């Protein structure tokens, strides 16, 4: 007698792309998925994006880089203050399922847009994405 166990195949890992405009949403993920967050800044302001701590039990930072955004004034021209500036791109890999036993977990990913300098009190823009089990 042969006993067979049938398991549904896991969905293939994906690369998912997100921008600030998509903040606040829930993102269904599974181990192996890559998450690419592209965070644009305004040229000439000195503001930069920083990732706040993520739970290393579920996410690993694969890459952080800065990419140029073509100036709105045209190729080869100087960027205008207030126009599109560089973008910071964070790429993470999901390394474990967002589950504990039979419970599904939600883990947040936060980014803060920080002004230049080190003032005692500053206003920052904070964006959040919520990762949930797929």
Q: What is the pLDDT of residue 6?
A: 47
pLDDT in tens, 49-84: 999 989 999 999 999 999 887 655 556 666 566 667
DSSP per residue, 109-129: EEEEEE-SS--SS---EEEEE
- Bridge partners for 92 per DSSP: 35, 61
Judged by DSSP in three states, 76 sits in coil
* CATH top-level class of 15-69+83-133: mainly beta
pTM (two decimals) = 0.77
Structure-token match 């039979």, residue found: 102
């Amino acid at each position: 007698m042969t006993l067979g166990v049938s398991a549904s195949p896991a969905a293939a890992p994906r690369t998912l792309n997100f921008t600030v405009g998509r903040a606040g949403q829930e993102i269904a993920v599974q181990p192996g998925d890559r998450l690419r967050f592209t965070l644009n800044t305004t040229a000439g302001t000195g503001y930069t994006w920083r990732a706040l701590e993520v739970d290393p039990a579920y996410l690993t930072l694969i890459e952080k880089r800065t990419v140029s955004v073509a100036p709105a004034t045209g190729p080869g021209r100087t960027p205008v203050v207030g126009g599109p500036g560089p973008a910071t791109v964070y790429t993470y890999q999901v390394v474990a399922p967002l589950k504990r036993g039979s419970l599904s977990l939600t883990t947040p990913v936060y980014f803060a847009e920080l002004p230049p300098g080190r003032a005692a009190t500053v206003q920052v823009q904070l964006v959040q994405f919520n990762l949930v089990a797929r």
